[in-house]
Amino acid sequence: MNDKKVLILGATSDVGKALAQVYTEQQFQLVLAARNVKDLEPIKSDLEIRNEAKVEIAGFEATDYISHPDFIEKVGTPDICICVFGYLGDQTKAENNWDEAKSIMAINYIGAASILEVVAKKMIDKKSGTIVGISSVAGERGRQSNYFYGSSKAGFTAYLSGLRNRLFHKDVHVLTVKPGFIDTKMTAGMDLPKPLTASPLQVAKAIAKAVRKKKNTIYVLSMWRLIMYIIKTIPEGIFKKLKL
């Protein structure tokens, strides 16, 4: 059994479950965290039975910012912390309901930054560790179809970049992940193009590999790097007329 501990924030998500599988197969100890602890119990049991893994579970609420320091004290400082939780939300609803808009931004950016600041301080004290943030290609340019979600992910990407700059000098690694489309329950019902859609397991394996190689930023499917380069180079005068 590896003595390294991986904390997965948002472990009931499809990607969170895939990450748990990948890291238990590599004999890491796991702490699985999510809003509903009861939903974590069958995941824990399955991992322990199939992989003889050492798994802890804990309740975590992204927007309960004041609880974050106590949460980390309770679960302990991980060697790898992966922030995989997120909320796609409903763009149309958000345009007419500020509570929905606020939830999208609070979960994807403020909640993520809040918990990762706590983790960062602990890793600085240890002078080691890896922080992984799952952002999105949606944050690279605002589009009318999801600008609340996209803007929150843009903020998160910028946060991770600054955190990486800060923690590099403290021997702590920060990885930004931009998966593109993922075939998950969050995207169920969407007509996603298969060549541009990754499976949760593909995302998990790409993250584990990038952590080992100490990468800074990765696109899970390399085609997204080219796609986003093209999208970012479209002049604003043209881009604003498009329906994207």
Query: What is the average per-residue pLDDT within 188-198?
Result: 80
Query: What is the average per-residue pLDDT within 11-24?
Result: 96
User: What separation in angstroms does the CA of 215 have from each of 176, 219, 227?
Assistant: 8, 11, 20
Q: What pLDDT does residue 1 have?
A: 66
Residue 80's nearest CA partner among 150, 6, 28 is: 6
Q: Tell me: the pLDDT tens digits for 209-232?
A: 999 999 999 999 999 999 999 999
pLDDT at 67 over 80: yes
d(CA 232, CA 226): 10
Q: Whole-number mean pLDDT of the chain?
A: 95
User: What separation in angstroms does the CA of 37 have from each of 32, 57, 61?
Assistant: 9, 7, 11
SS3 47: helix
**Percent above pLDDT 70 for the chain:** 98
Burial of 46 (C-beta count, 10 Å sphere; 0-12/13-18/19+): middle
Superfamily of domain 5-239: NAD(P)-binding Rossmann-like Domain (3.40.50.720)
* Secondary-structure breakdown of the chain: helix, strand, coil percentages, each rounded to the nearest 5: 55, 15, 30
Query: What is the average per-residue pLDDT within 193-215?
Result: 95
Give the β-pairing of 29-34 and 173-178. Answer: unpaired
Instruction: For residue 207, give both structure tokens.
Output: 């993250």
Instruction: For residue 12, give both structure tokens.
Output: 């009931």
Q: What pLDDT does residue 192 have?
A: 79
Give the β-pairing of 173-178 and 197-198. Answer: unpaired
- 175 half-sphere exposure, CB direction, 13 A CA radius: 26
pLDDT at 238 over 80: yes
**Percent above pLDDT 90 for the chain:** 91
pLDDT at 202 over 80: yes
pLDDT at 190 over 80: no
pLDDT at 185 over 90: no
Q: Tell me: the pLDDT tens digits for 131-184?
A: 999 999 999 999 999 999 999 999 999 999 999 999 999 999 999 999 999 988
Provide DSSP, 123-175: HHHHT--EEEEE--GGGGS--TTSHHHHHHHHHHHHHHHHHHHHHHTTT-EEE
Instruction: For residue 47, give both structure tokens.
Output: 């991992």
Contacts of 132 (CB under 8 A, 6+ apart): 80, 81, 82, 83, 174, 175, 177, 207, 211
Q: What pLDDT does residue 244 have?
A: 87
Angle (CA) 143 144 145, round 5°: 90
pLDDT confidence bin for 2, thresholds 50/70/90: confident
Residue 174's nearest CA partner among 134, 136, 139 is: 134
Q: What pLDDT does residue 188 have?
A: 67
pTM of the model: 0.94
